[in-house]
Amino acid sequence: MNKIKNLADLKKLQSEVQSKIKLREKGDSPEQLVQIKVSMATCGIASGAKETMNFLIEELDHQGIDAVVTQTGCMGYCYAEPTIELTIPGQLPVVYGFVSKHKAQEIIEKHIKLNELVDGIIPVAYSTIDNK
C-alpha cells in the first residue's frame, strides 16, 4: 500500500519550493501580476464557477503565466455567470460574462497573452465623455 501523504511530506516540498523561489528572485508584487477575480456567490457556483476557476488556475500554471486567481462575491450579473474580472497590470479591469472553460481558454490565449479583447465583455468600467 502506498504511504499516505502527510504534513511531513509537505515539509520536503516546502524546502524544494523555497529554493525555486530564491532562484527566481524577482520582486513580483501582486500589482505587477495579471489578476483574475472569479465571482463565487450562489449564482456563480450554481453556474459552474468552480470548474472555471480550477481551469484558470491549472491552465495558467501549465502555461507558466504568473497570475493571481482569487474569489470574489456577486457583482450583480447573475444572468451572465460565471463572470470573471480580469486586470492586466496598468490597465482598467475588464469583466467577462458566461466564462465557460472554452471561453476561459480564449481569454487566456487572446486577452492575457496578446492583449486583444475577446467577445463577451460586460461594460462595467465603461466610461463615455458624458459620464466622465
Residues forming contacts to another protein in the complex (CB under 8 A) are 2, 4-7, 9-11, 13-14, 16-18, 21, 40-43, 45-46, 50, 53-54, 57, 61, 68-71, 73-76, 78
Beta bridge partners of residue 84, listed in sequence order: 38, 96
What beta strand segments (E) does 1-132 contain?
34-39, 67-72, 84-87, 94-96, 121-122
Of residues 117 and 126, the one with the C-beta less far from another protein: 126
Q: How far is the CB of 116 from another protein (least distance, A)?
A: 26
Of residues 57 and 88, the one with the C-beta less far from another protein: 57
Q: How far is the CB of 23 from another protein (least distance, A)?
A: 13
From residue 89, give the alpha-carbon distance in Å to each of 30, 36, 38, 41, 99. Answer: 9, 11, 17, 26, 21
Q: How far is the CB of 22 from another protein (least distance, A)?
A: 10
- Give the integer Cα–Cα distance in Å for 12 and 9: 5
- The H-assigned helical ranges of 25-118 are 42-46, 49-62, 101-106, 113-114
Of residues 78 and 121, the one with the C-beta less far from another protein: 78
Of residues 69 and 107, the one with the C-beta less far from another protein: 69
Q: How far is the CB of 77 from another protein (least distance, A)?
A: 9
